[in-house]
A and B are shown apart, each in its own frame.
Chain A
Amino acid sequence: EPEVTQTPSHQVTQMGQEVILRCVPISNHLYFYWYRQILGQKVEFLVSFYNNEISEKSEIFDDQFSVERPDGSNFTLKIRSTKLEDSAMYFCASSLTSGYSYEQYFGPGTRLTVT
């Protein structure tokens, strides 16, 4: 069964550094998403992406964050100048379509630890 994959599973970085989290969505899916979950808190929407453009972004997704689809399979989240509060699980998700009815499937996540 097709699944979303994410690398690395765990990333440790120092405050102020840049990190790139990578995702391979399900191959025939067209819509891609990033979410984060701080330990013990709820899953928070960051951004949705379609046709090489951001569709929606939350108030969390400020200039520190960027997304890119560098090739036909990868979808990346870049976090510049990381802060301690960026420590969280970051989940990538994908869906076949959008609009009225669609279902998002999540990858296993990348645990980001900022020290």
Chain B
Amino acid sequence: QKEVEQNSGPLSVPEGAIASLNCTYSDRGSQSFFWYRQYSGKSPELIMSIYSNGDKEDGRFTAQLNKASQYVSLLIRDSQPSDSATYLCAVNGNNDMRFGAGTRLTVKP
């Protein structure tokens, strides 16, 4: 069974702080890793992809991947109230992308 685990939260941070979201996965054959943002009642919106060990930065977002530890993380710098959403970690092995349950993030003004 291919499992993707995330802390459900809620994670609450003050505006301007760094939010740190974590994800672990069980399938060592996984090759592609994604972070999606989902606002309540909306569809998942892709915000980051990462395929190689290390860090990948895109604006205020940094994704980190450690395949040996089967661990993916997302850092959001200078968090804004508009970042308040559920963040979904997704892992793909072979055309069958699996999602974690998501971490609910609240950024307080």
Contact = CB atoms under 8 A, between A and B. Distances in A.
Closest 7 A/B residue pairs (Cβ): A48-B95, A43-B99, A56-B96, A42-B101, A56-B95, A106-B43, A55-B95
Interface majority SS (helix, strand, loop, mixed), chain A: strand
Q: A45, A56, A58 — which one has the most chain B CB atoms within 10 A of its CB?
A: A45
Interface of B: 31-32, 34, 36, 42-46, 49, 51, 88, 90, 92, 94-102
Interface residues of A, number: 27
Given A43-B99, A45-B96, A103 B43 contact: no
Contacts of A43: 44, 88, 90, 99
A98 B97 CA distance: 11
B95 A31 contact: yes
Interface string A77-111: 00000000000010100000010111111111100
B66 to A, nearest CB: 18
Contacts of A98: 95
A44 interface: yes
